[in-house]
A = this chain, B = another copy of it.
Amino acid sequence: MVDHSHPFVPTLPFVPTLRDVARHAEVSLATADRVVNRRPGVRASTIERVEEAVRVLGFERHAGAAALARRESFRAVALLPRGTNPFIARLADELHLAARLQGLRRLDLSILRTDSFEPTRLAEAIRSAAGQAQGIIAIGLDDPLVTAAIDAVAETGIPVVSLVSDVPASRRRHYVGIDNRAAGRVAASLVGRFAGRGATRAFVLLGSHALRDHLDRLDGFRDALGRRFPALEIAAIVEGHDDAARTETAMREVLSGIGMPDAVYSAGAGASGLVAALRERGGSPVVVAHELTDETHPLLVSGAIDALIVQDPGHEARSAVRVLMAALTGGAISEDQERIRIEILLPDNLPK
C-alpha cells in the first residue's frame, strides 16, 4: 500500500502530498484542495472519498508550500509609547526582527511611537493606523477612548493585538503579555520572604495610575501581601512616570515625608531613580523591580535590587507577530506557546 516514489532512498518514509491524496481519491488536485481547505462546491460523496484518502495516507498539508502559493502579504502597524523606557526600545527592535523572520508569509510592519499616558493620542493613532494597515499591534492604555477606538477598528475587520498592557474591555483580538496580577503577587512573595519577619512597611512605585498593567501589579501585590504577609503594609504609592529623574524626585519627597520603608516594589520603570533616592538617605530596603534592561542590570548585580520580575521581549514580539498573522490568515495558534511567562531573575540566573 505504500508508494515508494523514491525507490533509491529506502529509509526515507513516504510523505504523502496533496497529489497523492488526489490520485488515491481519483479526483483532480483542485478538488482535493477544495476538500482539504473546506472550500464549497464539492459533492458530499466526493468529500467523503477525499477525506478517506487523507486518513489512509496520513496526509498533512505542507504549510510552507501553501503559504508560497497563496502569495499573500500583509501590512501592519505597531504602536508603542514614546519616551526613554529601555524595555520599550528593546521591544521595538524585537518586533522588527520578528516581522522579518516571519518566514512563511510576508509581513510589512511599521513601528510608530505615540505619546503614552495620553488616551486621546493613542486612540487617534489607532484610528489612523487602521487606514494604512490590515492589522494593528499596540501597547494599550485602559481608557474608554482607547477602547472605543479599538472597537471601531475591530468593527472594520482589522484585528488589534494588545501587547504588554491590555485593554480588557475592548474587542482586541488577543492580549500578548504577562498576567500582571500574578506578577504583583510574585513581587509580594519575594518582598515578604526576603524582608523577613520584622518588616512592616512597603512602598509601591508606579509609572502611572492610567496604566492597566501597573495597576494590576499593584492589585496583585496588595492582595498577596494582605493574605500572606499581613504584617507588611503598603505605606505609600508613588508615581514616577516610568522615568528615572521624575522617580527620584518623587521618592525623595516621600522619603523625607514618612521615612525609609522595609521594602520597595517598583512596578514600573525608572528604578535607577529609586535607588539613587534610597542611597541618598542611606537606606537599603529590599527592592523588587521589573524588566532586565541596561538600567536595571547593574543594579541587580550590585545588590541594589534584590530581584527582578521580567518578561521576555523577544518572546513577546514573536508571539504578537504570530498571533496577528493567525488573525490575518485565519490560522490557528497554540495557546500554550503564546503564553508569556513571568520570570524571576536573581543575580544567579542573569542571562549571559
A interface residue numbers (CB < 8 A to B):
11-13, 15, 60, 62-65, 67-68, 73, 75, 100, 103-104, 106, 108, 132, 182-183, 185-186, 188-190, 193-194, 196, 220, 224, 312, 314, 336-337, 339, 341-344, 346-349, 351
Contacts and interface: CB of A to CB of B under 8 A. Distances in A.
Given A64-B64, A68-B65, A341 B348 contact: no
Contacts of A103: 63-64, 103-104
Contacts of A189: 346-348
B68 A64 contact: yes
A70 to B, nearest CB: 11
B349 A15 contact: no
A57 to B, nearest CB: 15
A116 B185 CA distance: 39
A66 B283 CA distance: 60
A177 to B, nearest CB: 14
Given A186-B348, A339-B351, A75 B13 contact: yes
A80 B344 CA distance: 29
A293 to B, nearest CB: 15
A31 B100 CA distance: 25
- Choose among A15, A132, A336, A342 the residue with the greatest number of B CB atoms under 10 Å from its CB: A342
Given A185-B349, A342-B349, 20 more contacts: A11-B132, A12-B73, A15-B73, A60-B100, A103-B103, A186-B348, A186-B349, A188-B348, A189-B346, A189-B348, A190-B346, A193-B194, A220-B348, A224-B348, A314-B336, A339-B351, A341-B343, A341-B351, A343-B343, A344-B344
12 contacts: A11-B75, A12-B108, A13-B75, A13-B108, A63-B103, A64-B67, A186-B348, A186-B349, A189-B346, A314-B336, A314-B337, A341-B343
A347 B108 CA distance: 40
